[in-house]
Amino acid sequence: MDISLANPRGFCAGVDRAIAIVNRALEVFGRPIYVRHEVVHNKFVVDDLRQRGAVFVDELHQVPNDAIVIFSAHGVSKAVQDEAQQRGLKVFDATCPLVTKVHMEVTRYARLGTEAILIGHAGHPEVEGTMGQYDTQYGGKIYLVENEDDVAKLQVSKPNELAFVTQTTLSVDDTARVIDALRAKFPAIQGPRKDDICYATQNRQDAVKMLAQSCEVVLVVGSPNSSNSNRLRELAERIGAKAYLI
């Protein structure tokens, strides 16, 4: 039996950076270090950090006043940032720089009064954070779509003042189809100057495409709640290989 390894593989630079921030905080300040949401969707990494003193929480009300808190690589909403500041929490922001770029795009659209459409998966921490960066006080609104069916049903208030952004960990091919549907329905829609999907996500999807074309079975080593891992399994399966997430 021949075994081939995808190249590139493993964590992206943004995840490595987030893990390093938690490790450094534990070294400098000691336990406990609070982390809002799992710093990365990987059980082995999270369990190791937890054993060493990281406390993973879903919401800031679970963090004591004046404690140290780290925002995960997925980013947070403006409301979470404001709450942390108001409560005097010492914050280390491990948000992936590419996610921050999307946040800045959304913030700019909001201030211009331009409505925004986020292509992403409902309930994902990155999506919740990005949606929460859009300030509606300027008269606009942000919408979430996951697929072409959502685009078909979508009604916006300002079709001529409209822009889209994307979650950074989506399927490149699926997202391209959703973008095509948006451009067909809303001809005036604006998009980012450069694709929001992370280059590491795209590189790993390209690597899996190559593997799936020459292998009968593709095993994706990742956590069930990892968007990237699930997209890789789906991609390999779509190409024709038997694919499993383990």
- The single residue listed with the structure tokens 């451009």 is 183
Out of 105, 115, 126, 128, which one is annotated catalytic?
126
Report the candidate in 139, 33, 133, 14 with the shortest Cα–Cα distance to residue 92. 33
Active site residue 126: yes
Write down the H helix ranges in 4-158.
Answer: 13-29, 43-51, 78-86, 97-112, 125-131, 148-153
How many Cβ atoms sit within 10 Å of the Cβ of residue 61? 8
The percent of the chain in helix, strand and coil, each rounded to the nearest 5, is 45, 15, 40
Partners of 138 in the β-ladder? none
Burial 89-114 (b: 16+ CB within 10 A, else e): beebbbbbebbeebbebbbebbeeeb
Q: Name 13's Cβ contacts closer than 8 Å, sequence gap at least 6.
A: 200
**Could you list the active site residues?**
126
